[in-house]
A and B are shown apart, each in its own frame.
Chain A
Amino acid sequence: MARPRPRRARRVRRTWLRVLGLVVVSAVLVTLDYRGELHGAVNAARRSTADALNPVERAVDDVLHPVGHFFAGALEYGSLARQNAELRLELRRAEGQVLRLGTERRELDQLARLEHLPFVDVATIPTVTAEVIGQSSSNFEATVTLDKGQDDGVAVGMPVVDGLGLVGRVVQVASHQATVELITDSRSVVSVTYGTAGALAAASGQGPGAALRVDYVPNRAPIHRGELLSTSSVRSTAAGTQATVSARPVADLGSLGFVDVLAWEPPG
């Protein structure tokens, strides 16, 4: 006659069966999403979650930030006053540069028209100014959250800049919120151009805080130390011998406050 299974053994078996079931359900969800079969539903759910959490996050942020600012301000009063004076000087320099750039831009426009060049002038692209309200919730990506979304004219793929240079591109949008993948994210690859001949290369992110890696630098057009790289919508065509160099983003990605989303989508 078979001995009845002890109660505890049955309970343990039931527990691990349930765990196994949850693991299988999770694995199925991951597989379906990875194959793109859940994209519509998941994106809609993520948009709704972002919209639902947005007011709560803002309310908490409104409560916590003034407290943080009060202590930060009290502790750093001296350095803030110096920073303020430096910023005033910086502003005067920038105003002078704007005056000089006006003339140069007019000359560039004339040249572009004469040569029929497809030139995108960032200054003429409409922008949406947004505040950075959050950083990535994952430790395995470099993203920030903006307080502007679909209802404000922000769309997936749009580039995001600060006063100095490229910050990243929009990868996800909700009604009043957008997620920006920073150029330091390891999945980010940006075409860059440099030098008077407009040589092309590709800058890829290496993780937060790390320098960008610039690949496909043609040996015939070496990059000099300190040279400025500009982003390009033209893809680098890897040909001939190439080198790899490091580059530092001009934009200060560690302390982003307000940014501009360019209402322009790069050609596919």
Chain B
Amino acid sequence: MSQVEAPLEGSQPLPLEALVRLSLVVVVSLVLQLSLLDGVRVAGAHPDLLVLLPVAVGLLAGPDRGASVGFVVGLVTDLVLPTPFGLSALVGTLLGAAAGSLRPGRARPSLWMAVPLVAAGAAAGTVLRGVLLALFGVPKALTAYLPPALVVVTVGGLVLGPLVLRAVRWALPVEEPARPGPGLGGSAAPGRVRT
């Protein structure tokens, strides 16, 4: 059953193939965000693909992996934003870790369960960013910018969530526990890695 599939634990080193795939997902997401999604404006706000990534990784691969990917994606985002450097990394780390801790057991959640969680995570990330920017003295961060951003990012999360989840699923390998043999309980055989 697919519910017992578990992603590789964050403490294990990421296989090279997964690392390459994950880097590709981050770069493609960045390019799509800059050249396409930034132009999709509703009341001055746009969907945020880069805030969905750490949430999706956290949900599918746990808090450790979610925080690490959130940190890296955040640093990349900080390179294209004029906000304080490290702010997006902080938001990404917290988002990835929080999403990972919400993961039901060690099983990957189903798509129908994961998409609303990804959208909710993106909304939480937007609120956190708004609060931090308000603390750093950006005027009207919570009153003028946050309300439309919250709506657009959440709706964008629901629309783009399945795509992001599929991309992360493709990038990160899954460790399938060995099928329980008769009388063995499935505990002795090592796991199998699939993508």
Interface residues of A (CB under 8 A from B): 11, 14-16, 18-19, 22-23, 25-30, 32-34, 38, 42, 45-46, 49-50, 53, 56-57, 60-61, 64, 134-143, 171-172, 179, 186-187, 206-210, 254
Q: Is the interface of B mostly helix, strand, loop or mixed?
A: helix
A-B contact pairs, 19 of them (CB 8 A): A11-B9, A18-B68, A22-B67, A26-B74, A29-B86, A32-B86, A45-B79, A49-B80, A60-B31, A60-B32, A60-B35, A137-B33, A137-B38, A139-B126, A172-B82, A206-B144, A207-B145, A208-B144, A208-B145
How far apart are B25's CB and chain A's nearest CB, in angstroms?
Answer: 15
Interface 9-mer from B13-21, B39-47, B164-172, B186-194: B39-47
Complex alpha-carbon distance, A137 and B79, angstroms: 11
Q: In the complex the two chains form, is A42's CB within 8 Å of B85's CB?
A: yes
The residues in B between 18 and 68 inclusive whose CB is less than 8 angstroms from any CB of A are: 30-36, 38-39, 41, 43-46, 48, 62-64, 67-68
B130 at the interface (CB under 8 A from A): yes
Known: A15-B62, A139-B153, A206-B144. 19 other contacts (CB 8 A): A11-B11, A14-B11, A16-B97, A26-B90, A29-B85, A29-B89, A30-B84, A33-B84, A46-B79, A60-B35, A61-B35, A137-B33, A138-B83, A139-B126, A140-B133, A140-B149, A172-B82, A206-B140, A207-B144
Q: In the complex the two chains form, is A22's CB within 8 Å of B33's CB?
A: no
Complex alpha-carbon distance, A56 and B35, angstroms: 9
The residues in B between 101 and 148 inclusive whose CB is less than 8 angstroms from any CB of A are: 126, 129-130, 133, 136, 138-141, 144-146, 148
Q: Is the interface of A mostly helix, strand, loop or mixed?
A: helix
How far apart are B139's CB and chain A's nearest CB, in angstroms?
Answer: 4
Complex alpha-carbon distance, A208 and B80, angstroms: 20
Complex alpha-carbon distance, A50 and B126, angstroms: 24
Q: Which residue, of A14, A60, A140, has the highest number of chain B Cβ atoms within 10 A?
A: A140
Complex alpha-carbon distance, A80 and B89, angstroms: 44
Q: In the complex the two chains form, is B85's CB within 8 Å of A38's CB?
A: yes
Complex alpha-carbon distance, A179 and B81, angstroms: 10
How far apart are A141's CB and chain B's nearest CB, in angstroms?
Answer: 7
Query: Which residues of the other chain, A, contact B62 by a CB distance below 8 angstroms?
Result: 15
Top 3 A-B residue pairs of the complex, sorted by shortest distance between their CB atoms: A208-B44, A29-B86, A207-B144
B126 nearest CB neighbor, chain A only? A139
How far apart are B80's CB and chain A's nearest CB, in angstroms?
Answer: 5
Q: State which of A15, A18, A34 has its C-beta within 8 Å of the C-beta of B136.
A: A34
Query: Which residues of the other chain, A, contact B130 by a CB distance below 8 angstroms?
Result: 140
Complex alpha-carbon distance, A2 and B90, angstroms: 38
Q: Which residue, of A11, A19, A53, A210, has the highest number of chain B Cβ atoms within 10 A?
A: A19
B177 at the interface (CB under 8 A from A): no
